Homo-oligomer: A and B are copies of this chain.
């Protein structure tokens, strides 16, 4: 059973300890205590990882929490399974949109890079011409 201190995880994920404690305030993680010190399990570590993954694609902390809770059996009582399916479908739509957005941006960047390289090339050719003329 691996355990981590708060600064272990902060270092690993490139965030501050304040950030991790903040996630606890918000109820996104709930580490054990050894005395007063927080002790994080592998499961806690995964939750934090998922939260940060959510952040990278623009989810709010609450949205990440909601997504993570989809895995929590406690929330998956039968009455809610249908609404859960709807939630999943909605999420999927948004992510699909994100896929399009990201790939669109990537090809925009390709274009910018091409323009940029062309400009540099044109410039260096101009310089070469200038030298041969001297």
Q: Mark A81-125, 1 if CB is under 8 A from B, else 0.
A: 110110010011001111101111110110011011101100100
Q: How many chain copies?
A: 2
- A contact patch SS: helix
- A67→B102 contact, CB < 8 A: no
Give chain B residues whose Cβ lies under 8 Å from the Cβ of A84: 112, 116
User: Is the CB–CB distance between B57 and A119 below 8 Å?
Assistant: no
Contact of A88 among B55, B104, B112 (CB under 8 A): B112
Chain B residues with Cβ below 8 Å from A85 are 113, 116-117
Contact between B109 and A95 (Cβ–Cβ < 8 Å)?
yes
| Interface-central residue, A85, A95, A105, by most chain B CB under 10 Å | A105
